[in-house]
Amino acid sequence: MSKSKAFLQKLADEPPPCVTIGDPELFFPDGWGDTHTFQIRQAKEVCHRCPLVSECLEFALETEDQHAILAGMTPAERTVFKNWANDPYINTPGLRPAA
């Protein structure tokens, strides 16, 4: 079973906070401005108390989701994270200048 399938099965077996709060739209912020920002903050707060956040991040990165708040991050934030995590300059100690 792939990691994504295993994660989806886990969601079915142990519904996470994003499922149990009964407001799935919260994780798909729309529009702009203060309301948009507030909605993103609320969704992130739900994710921050989720026991599946690590697996959710793997799922989001694997599926390259571009729509939802997943693992407490917006799609843009996950792109920054992925680029950072894959940057050989950052992740190869010998390539970094000594501090």
Cα–Cα dist 97/99, whole Å = 6
Taking the complex as a whole, the smallest distance from the CB of residue 84 to ligand SF4 amounts, in Å, to: 19
Taking the complex as a whole, the smallest distance from the CB of residue 97 to ligand SF4 amounts, in Å, to: 35
Interface residue list for ligand SF4 (CB under 6 A): 16-18, 27, 46-47, 50, 52-53, 56, 70-72
Cα–Cα dist 4/45, whole Å = 23
Taking the complex as a whole, the smallest distance from the CB of residue 34 to ligand SF4 amounts, in Å, to: 22
Cα–Cα dist 57/84, whole Å = 14
Question: Of 45 and 87, which CB lies nearer to ligand SF4 in the complex structure?
Answer: 45
Question: Of 63 and 86, which CB lies nearer to ligand SF4 in the complex structure?
Answer: 63
Question: Of 40 and 46, which CB lies nearer to ligand SF4 in the complex structure?
Answer: 46
Instruction: State the alpha helices, DSSP H only, in 1-99.
Output: 3-13, 17-20, 33-47, 53-63, 75-85, 88-91
